[in-house]
Amino acid sequence: MSIVELPHTADIRIRVRSESLEELFSEAALAMMSIMYGRTDPGTVQRRITLGSDSPEDLLMDFLSEVLFVSEVDGLVFSSFSVTLSGNSLTAVLTGVPFDPSRHRGGTEIKGVSYSGLRILKEDDGYVLDILFDV
């Protein structure tokens, strides 16, 4: 698994590589949290998300948008994501800690997740995702 920031003029574009689609979703969410909050500490607060969509890309967009929403509304910083996929349905358990301004102000605000340039590719050794975060 790897996460690399790619050049972009105004927003943040990342490339995620993983062995499984579930891990790809988890790592994309973890990357988003790291961009927003800097350090992400292990925690015990959990939230559960269940979603369905028309395609893996739509499902990823819905998942990341929901993680962003729950994080902001509930004031939580998530550090782990247990994702289960079944076709175009997803169940995820998000685990983290309450937002603490003294520890979590080191990042960049993400306004949303963009469809621009979004692609999930299957390769011989796993999956690759390119995704753009609107900052």
- pLDDT over threshold 70, residue 7: no
Instruction: Give the CATH number, domain containing residue 99.
Output: 3.55.10.10
| Total domains in the fold of the chain | 1
In sign, the C-alpha dihedral spanning 66, 70, 18, 118 is positive
Would the pTM count as exceeding 0.85? yes
Q: Are 97 and 45 in contact (CB under 8 A)?
A: yes
Range of the domain at 52: 2-134
- pLDDT over threshold 80, residue 79: yes
Given this model, what pLDDT does residue 1 score? 60
* Residues found in the chain: 135
As a whole number of angstroms, the distance between CA 104 and CA 117 comes to 29
- pLDDT band of 43, cuts 50, 70, 90: very high
As a whole number of angstroms, the distance between CA 19 and CA 2 comes to 10
79: number of Cβ within 10 Å: 19
Distances (CA, A) of 60 to 19, 25, 100, 107: 16, 7, 27, 22
Per residue in 92-102, pLDDT (tens digit) is 999 999 999 88
